[in-house]
Structure 1
C-alpha cells in the first residue's frame, strides 16, 4: 500500500510527491533532518527533536517554515493516515529551490519540507538487543560541524558499507585516537561501572536519545563521565553501547574483532535500554 507523505503543506500519495531538481538539498546537501520514533502510535522525545531542528536551522541561517505545534500535528496525522503503530517519521527541511549558485538564494525563497513514515514492527523488541552488535573503527573524515544535523550523510553511508564489507553491524569513527561517534549514533563505554561518552561539542551530534539516556542514568544513581575516550579504552572496557532514535540503547560486544568485556551483552546497557523504553513510552505524545 502506498504511503501518504507530507510535502510543503500537502498530504500526498508518495508516488505523487515531487521535489524540484533545483532544490538545494539535492544540489548542495543544504538542509537538515530529524527522525522521530513511534511506539504504540505515539511519538518519542518529540520536544527534543523539535528543539534540535530549530537549532540546526538557526546554525545554517535558515528560517523555520513550520511552528512546533503544526509540526506535531503533521507527525500525528502521518501516523494516523499510515496506520503506524511502531516505526519512524523522517523530516527534512531544505533551503528550497533556486537556480544553482553557491550563494544562498534570495531572502523569502520558500523552504522545502518533507515528512514520511517508515513502519518498523516490534521496534522496541529488536533481537540484537539480546546479542549485541559488532563494530569496526574507521577514520572520521566528516566536516567540522557534526553538531548540526544536516543531510550531508555520504561519509556515514560509506562507513555503514565499510562495516558491512567487514561483516559487522556498524562503524565507530576515530579522530586523533579518540572515538567521536558511530555512523548514525552516539557511542559509550562502561568501565568499573562508570558510563563514559564524548562531551558535547562540534565534533558529535547532540543526540536526543543520548540526552534522555544520560538523564535516566543519573536519576538511577549511575555514574556518568562526559569526555573523549580512546580506542584503547574501548578495547579494555567492561561494556559498550550506542544510542539513537531508532536503536534506543543497543549493546556493542566487539570492536575491531576484539571482544568487549566478556563478549556478551552487559547489565548496564541492558538496564538502560529497559529504563529508556519504559520512560519514553510513559512520556510519549
Structure 2
C-alpha cells in the first residue's frame, strides 16, 4: 500500500483514493495539456517557466485556467515535500473535465486538474555515460508546440526505441530531425552546438531554453538551425535535453557510433553547467 500523496481538483489525497470520471475528456479524447518539472535538492527547478508554457498550451486549445500559477506552484512544491522528493519530478495535468461524450467543447467546462510526484536520479544519472537512440519517422500532428496529452505517436516511437534496445526515439520528418520522443535533440560540429528552431513542429523545451544561457556562460556558440539525420550521424557530438534528464550525451544512433563513442567535451561542459545552475537555484 503506497503512502504517496497526490493532488486532485484542490485536494491532497492518497494516490489509491484518487479517481476521475470515465467521461473525463482527457480519458476519452486526450483533451488536455500537461507539464513535468524537476525537483532538485528538494526544491522545484524552473517550475515558473513550465507554468508559463502550461498557460500557453491552455490558451492554444481554448481551455480555461482553473488555478493561477502561484497556486499551482505551491501545490507542486508541497507534493515534493510531502512525498520526500529530493531529486525527481512533479507531473501536472489539466483536462477539459467530464462531460457527455461529444467532440465539440461542452457548454460548461469544469477542468480536471491533478498532480503527483516521483523520485528520479538527476545529478547522478547513470545515463550520463551516454545513451543510444533509435531513429523513427515523426508521426505526430501539426501542433507539436502544444504540450498535449494526446501522445499516441510518442508512445509508439518510444516503444519502438525500447524494442530496439535504445533509451530514446530520435524522430525525423522529410529528412530533418525534429526532436526526441520526450526531449530536444542537439548536435555539435566544429565546436558549435546546433538545435532545431522552435515552430509548430517541435515543443519549445524549457531545458532547451535554459541551455542557451548555460552555453553563453560557458562560451559555447549555439545556432538554431534544422539538421538532417545524416548530419546527426556525422556530428562530432550529439546530445538530448529534457526536464528530467537535464543534458545527456547520445553516443549511438542505432548501430552508428557518434564521434568517439564517449560523451563529448562540449556535452560534458553543458551538463556540468546545467547541474551547477540547478544547485545554485535550489541551494
Which residue matches 1:123?
122
Note if 1:100 corresponds to 2:101.
yes
Structure 1 distance, partners of 2:235, 2:85, is 38
Cα-to-partner distance string for 1:136-174 (whole Å, 9 max, x where unaligned): 211001001000000011111111111111112111101
Which residue matches 1:110?
110
Which residue matches 1:63?
64
Which residue matches 1:138?
136
Which residue matches 2:182?
184
Cα-to-partner distance string for 1:164-200 (whole Å, 9 max, x where unaligned): 1111211110111000000000000000001000000
Structure 1 distance, partners of 2:77, 2:243, is 17
- Larger mean Cα displacement after TM superposition, 80-89 or 232-241: 80-89
Which residue matches 1:230?
228
Structure 2 distance, partners of 1:284, 1:35, is 17
RMSD: 1.1
Which residue matches 2:20?
19
Structure 2 distance, partners of 1:70, 1:25, is 22
Alpha-carbon offset, residue 115 of structure 1: 0.2
TM-score (norm. length: structure 2): 0.97
State the secondary structure of the residue aligned to 1:124: coil
Alpha-carbon offset, residue 284 of structure 1: 3.4
TM-score (norm. length: structure 1): 0.97
2:218 and 2:270 in contact (8 A); partners too = no
Which residue matches 1:193?
191
1:253 and 1:264 in contact (8 A); partners too = yes
Question: Which of 241, 244, 256 pairs up with 2:242?
Answer: 244
Which residue matches 1:276?
274
Which residue matches 2:39?
38
- Larger mean Cα displacement after TM superposition, 146-155 or 211-220: 211-220
Alpha-carbon offset, residue 40 of structure 1: 1.0
Structure 2 distance, partners of 1:89, 1:155, is 23
Alpha-carbon offset, residue 274 of structure 1: 0.7
1:44 and 1:283 in contact (8 A); partners too = yes
Which residue matches 2:154?
156
Structure 2 distance, partners of 1:82, 1:185, is 26
Alpha-carbon offset, residue 42 of structure 1: 0.4
Alpha-carbon offset, residue 281 of structure 1: 2.3
State the secondary structure of the residue aligned to 1:75: helix
2:48 and 2:73 in contact (8 A); partners too = no
Alpha-carbon offset, residue 229 of structure 1: 0.2
Which residue matches 1:259?
257
Q: Which runs of 5+ in 1 are unaligned?
A: none
Structure 1 distance, partners of 2:19, 2:138, is 34
